[in-house]
Copies of this chain bind each other. A is one copy, B any other.
Amino acid sequence: MHSVAGLGEFELIARYFRRPERALGAGVALGVGDDCALLQPTPGMQWAVSSDMLVSGRHFFPDVDPRTLGHKALAVNLSDLAACGARPLGFTLALALPEANAAWLQPFSEGLFALADAHGCALVGGDTTRGPLNICITVFGEVPPSQALLRSGAQGGDDVYVSGTLGDAALALQCLQGKVHLPPALLTQARQRLEQPTPRVALGLALREVASAVADVSDGLLGDLGHILQQSGVGATLDAGIAMHLLAAGAYSTGASGLFSSQMPVAQLLQCVLAGGDDYELVFTAPPDRAAAVQAAALASDTPVTRIGRIDAAAGLRVVDGRGQPLPGDWKSFDHFA
């Protein structure tokens, strides 16, 4: 790894982050290179805005593959747009780097732009500076007024769903931290989920006018569902038996090298599913009479969706086993300041 001798801030931006005008979307009137970017909103639409900051050593390992880091830095922001039912338009990137290092910047920008291009989301501006590695992306999207998906709309009797799989990212993290051992094939699979999460943008769009409340699972299912419950003034009961099947790595359980044969306690796996972070799936609610519409949204967006429980009118979050019996446990979610 060699730093680029004498590479200044403006050269750095030009070399790795300025792109041909054609790469900008129709809504971008002016991209990188002036004091501000200029965006032209689609008439009548609302703007959805979200900002996430990733810190080295806290949100990623300092030696993580910069290509996957570029992907993840944008993915976690796109996931917020997905949870809002907004269509991505553009983003700003602020980057503090210990040094202007080509061997790092090249793959980082490639990973970033590969995901940006897949979602038609243009880099419109930002900032670079020297400092401890820190990546802050602010993303913009649009959504028709009154169709934005909020956390506050869940009602007693609604079903609770999650997209995709849950817990693999937390499992990979625990393995990489040396806290658990995973067979190599499982680690590879789980690590992919940790380092290159898939923002559920298409599902979010399909859930407009279907879901009653949505959040993305960034801090852990229970914590993020907890936001929905708190902001909707309701409670929920989750089925732990179903939840266990959300662990993608669990699919390996029948094999001799599988997860459940690796003698990890079930409670530890369930903890990954329910309280592990970094999944970037959607947790959402919908009235029972919208179940067919939920399945249609899942099909239309090619995204698996699983019903894992129901909303209760009474406050509180209950986790029950297959027979409806409460499961003991401290289901504390991940908090960046806890």
Contacts and interface: CB of A to CB of B under 8 A. Distances in A.
Interface in A1-45: 6-10, 12, 29-30, 33-41, 43-45
A52 B84 contact: no
A329 B39 CA distance: 40
A150 interface: yes
Interface stretch (A90-98, A245-253, A268-276, A302-310): A90-98
Contacts of A166: none
Contact of A50 (B7, B36, B40): B36
A127 B36 contact: no
Contact of A49 (B36, B43, B100, B129): B36
Contacts of A216: 35
Interface in A212-270: 214-216, 231
* Residue from A44, A136, A336 having most chain B Cβ neighbours under 10 A: A136
A129 B84 contact: no
A293 interface: no
A49 B141 CA distance: 13
A220 B129 CA distance: 16
A92 B49 contact: yes
A317 interface: no
B8 A337 contact: yes
Contacts of A57: 131
A10 B134 contact: no
A145 interface: yes
Contacts of A136: 51, 53, 94, 127, 134, 136
A278 to B, nearest CB: 13
A84 B38 CA distance: 9
B58 A129 contact: yes
Interface string A72-97: 00000000110110100010111110
Contacts of A8: 335, 337-338
A48 interface: yes
Contacts of A83: 35-36
A150 B36 CA distance: 9
Interface of A: 6-10, 12, 29-30, 33-41, 43-53, 55-59, 80-81, 83-84, 86, 90, 92-96, 100, 124-132, 134, 136, 138, 140-141, 143, 145, 148, 150-152, 214-216, 231, 335-338
20 contacts: A9-B335, A9-B336, A29-B46, A29-B148, A30-B148, A34-B150, A35-B151, A35-B216, A36-B84, A38-B46, A49-B138, A51-B94, A52-B127, A53-B94, A53-B134, A55-B129, A55-B132, A58-B130, A130-B336, A130-B337
Given A36-B86, A41-B46, A47-B47, 19 more contacts: A8-B335, A12-B337, A30-B150, A35-B84, A36-B141, A37-B49, A39-B49, A43-B43, A49-B140, A51-B92, A53-B95, A53-B127, A53-B134, A55-B131, A58-B129, A94-B136, A129-B336, A131-B132, A136-B136
